[in-house]
Amino acid sequence: MGKIAVLDDNMINMIAAGEVIERPASVVKELLENSIDAGASKIVVEVEEGGRKLIRIIDNGSGMDAADLALVFEPHATSKIRVSDDLAGIRTMGFRGEALASIGSVAKVAVASRTTEAIEAYTIENDCGDKSEVRPCSGDIGTTIEVRNIFYKLPARQKFLKTPKTEMGHITEHFTRIALAHDDLDLTLCHNGREVYRLLSGQGVKDRIQVLFGQSLSEDLLETSRAERGMQIRALLAKPVAARASGKYQYLFLNRRFIRDRFALHAVKEAYRGLMEPNKYPVVFLFMQMPPEDYDVNVHPTKTEVRFDNANLIHSQVLAVLRDKLLGSNLDVSGTAPSAKPFSPEHLSGFGAGQRKERIQQAMTDFFSKPASSQHQRKFSFSNTKRGEPLPQTAQSSAATALPDMPAFEQSESWHSKQFLQVHDSYILLQSEDGFVVVDQHALHERILYEQMCRRLREGNLPSQRLLMPHSFEVTNAQLEAYESQKELFVKLGIEVEPFGPNTLAIQTFPALLDKADPVEFVKEALDKLVEEGADTDSERLVHEVLDMAACKAAVKAGQSLSEEEMSQLLKDKDIVQRTSRCPHGRPTTISFSMKELEKQFKRTGF
Ligand code: ADP
Ligand code: MG
């Protein structure tokens, strides 16, 4: 007798279930997708014990008749595609016809359904492959599916289920993805009889984000969209300050399907490059639309992976849309000083709210309108206004203004004040249109240098100057190798390095922009960075990491007192390098305090 036997249907289904049905959350995902495909406008998800005990999905979609119900648990039974050509233009969430067959093979499932035309509903059950007849029953238009005791006949798989809390977390995640992509649906999620989310149609994706992720995230989102080259992109972007330690909050959707795509994700990362710490993940919600013929979703059973015909297009479009928005936005953190303790009533006695308002306003105006000299008498004092040399970037920045392909930055909120105050030789305080701004001198200067170098690099190599004497230094073998393999990088940066005896290199030229940095220290550190990164790292990224480093080294330090000219130059350059409120390491460069904020702090609101 031969050894090969054809597997029976239930075995086939169980094997398929191993791929698509990993845990209760996979069931929720598949069933939600089915309800959406059935045109439902309202879906309720009820879960007990993290879905281990029960998952019930109730929809008001088109329903199934008795004949369809009889086939619903058959493998490869689908109403969504008929011929192979259909695969090229999938417009539905499902199409493989394996979800219900899989679920039915690993749990106790009951489906009740009624079509719009029918006067009664029908039901069918499937207990781990043991199917019932189709029978009439009572029920509303639409479909209700109950999945009980998942994996109860498969102890090996049941063992891998986690606590109800963890499983519920996965369910919530899938629910969230569907909810974000389908803001036209009424969606409810209940756990153990308690309502977790109730999302109404027509509320808009931003409101959904608020409900699902909280107000502080949603209210600070930047919104942008573009339709170009056969592709529509809508994005809601969190400011760099909201970046997370993992990529969990990067929601990408393609034609309303949640996907993970390395091209799009890479573009997101690129877009935030230099605006935040490189090892963090920005929070983004990205909705892409393109003809289904331009990509393939039939790559993996769970369909979160897709294959684009033109992945470069995705990358460049996503990058362009995001980068434009980020560079054109004020990424400053709005000031949220720790709230002061409530004033006791006696503090307020003596003058009313109106008077208080006037007094504070007057004090602010006085402070900022007095000539600098008189500020000395105040509590704060200007730094010794020693007429130091102008900051190193001065000459370069005026050159930068003349560069032809400078991105068109929006005009910033104007910082009217010609007066400013250096606080503890580290921060600069100045009046803005609707309040005041605190500038971190190091962070801002670092940012300016970084942007200037980026712009210069787009034009060619950084302009360099020859050092009076070559600076030589010893290197390890690893450093030497790193130098050999990345010579180009140094050329780009305007750093000419030459061998100078065994294990010794000499620096001949160094970029003018970095004249505050020590050449040897800088090159050594850059080499260490290269060693650390390994030879095959993306050279583009390397350049930017080295630029980060360079900017940090060459920027004025905290604790360094600045002359008035230096401060004024720094603030002027902030306008040139507009919209760059975070230093490359992700710290904010400026924090603005609005009058409103001040009023709140001074308890002047609500009188
Ligand atoms: P697929 O979604 O890939 O077609 P499924 O196994 O998920 O495969 O579903 C099989 C078929 O059952 C679907 O094609 C659809 O015709 C029908 N179906 C499943 N769920 C529903 C539902 N909630 N409402 C109406 N029809 C449904
Ligand atoms: Mg399906």
Q: What CATH number should be reported for the domain holding residue 580?
A: 3.30.1540.20
Q: Which residue has the tokens 């609101």?
A: 605
Angle at alpha carbon of residue 272, lines to 215 and 569, rounded to 5°: 100
- Cβ(72) – ligand 1 distance below 6 Å: yes
Mean pLDDT value across residues 120-134: 96
With respect to residue 213, please indicate whether it lies within any of the assigned structural domains.
no
Give pLDDT tens digits for 341-352. 333 333 333 334
Is the CB of 440 inside a 6 Å radius of any atom of ligand 1?
no
Would the CB of 80 count as within 6 Å of ligand 1?
yes
Task: Specify the residue with its C-alpha closest to ligand 1, atom 8.
Answer: 97
Given a cut of 60, is residue 368 above it in pLDDT?
A: no
Whether residue 571 sits in one domain with residue 422: yes
CATH code, domain carrying 171: 3.30.565.10
Q: Is 581 in the pocket of ligand 1 (CB under 6 A)?
A: no
> Are 203 and 88 in contact, with CB atoms under 8 Å apart?
no
What does the DSSP 8-state code read for residue 134?
P
User: Considering only CA atoms, which residue is closest to atom 11 of ligand 1?
Assistant: 78
> What are the start-end ranges of the H helices in 305-393?
311-327, 345-348, 353-369, 372-375
Q: Are 367 and 480 contained in the same domain? A: yes
Indicate whether 350 belongs to any domain: no
Distance 104 CA to ligand 2 centre (A): 13
Which two structure tokens, joined as six digits, stand for 488? 């180009």
pTM recorded for the entire structure: 0.61
Question: Among candidates 197, 150, 179, 155, which has minimal Cα distance to 49?
Answer: 150
Best mean pLDDT range from 350-359, 407-416, 517-526, 540-549: 517-526
Rounded CA gap, 295 and 455, in Å? 35
467 plus 337 within the same structural domain: yes
| CB 251 within 8 Å of CB 285 | yes
Asked whether residue 1 is assigned to any structural domain, the reply reads: no
CA of residue 204 to ligand 1 center, whole Å: 27
| Helix (H) or strand (E) run with residue 147 in it | strand 142-148
List CB-based neighbours of ion ligand 2 within 5 Å: 34, 94, 99
Determine if ligand 1 sits within 6 Å of the CB of residue 60.
Answer: no
Would you say the CB of residue 61 lies under 6 angstroms from ligand 1? yes
Residue 59 near ligand 1, beta carbon < 6 Å: yes
d(CA 142, CA 113): 6
Same structural domain, 304 and 363: no
List beta partners, residue 194.
191
Select from 36, 100, 297 the residue to mutate for testing ligand 1; criterion: most ligand atoms less than 8 Å from CB. 100
Q: How far is CA 580 from the centre of its chain?
A: 17
247 and 379 co-located in one domain: no
Is 425 found in the same domain as 321? no
**What span, in angstroms and rounded, lies between the C-alpha atoms of 424 and 401?**
31
* Domain range enclosing 421: 332-342+356-607
Pick the range with the lowest mean pLDDT from 19-33, 68-82, 541-555: 541-555
| Pocket residue to mutate for ligand 1, from 12, 31, 65, 78, most atoms within 8 A of Cβ | 78
Per-residue burial over 423-433, b = 16 or more CB atoms within 10 Å of its CB, e = otherwise: beebbbbbbbe
Q: Which residue has the higher pLDDT, 142 or 93?
A: 142
* Rounded to 5°, angle at Cα 152 from 148 and 153: 130
Ligand 1 contact via 99 beta carbon (within 6 Å): yes
* pLDDT one-digit tens code per residue, 292-314: 999 998 888 788 889 999 998 99
| Residue corresponding to tokens 């989102």 | 221
pLDDT number for residue 532: 77
Q: How many CB atoms sit inside 10 A of residue 540's CB? A: 10
Report which of 317, 320, 322 is spatially closest to residue 221, judged by C-alpha positions: 322
Confidence of residue 582 (pLDDT cuts 50, 70, 90): low
Among the candidates 156, 171, 201, a domain finishes at 201
Nearest ligand to the CA atom of 72: 1
386 and 264 share one domain: no
Segment 494-513 mean pLDDT: 88
Number of domains in the chain: 3
Least confident of 189-198, 510-519, 585-594: 585-594
254-278 tens-digit pLDDT? 999 999 998 999 999 989 988 887 7
Please tell me what DSSP assigns to residue 293.
Answer: G
Residues 6+ apart with CB under 8 A from 585: 277, 446, 548, 552
Closest-CA residue, ligand 1 atom 12, reads 72
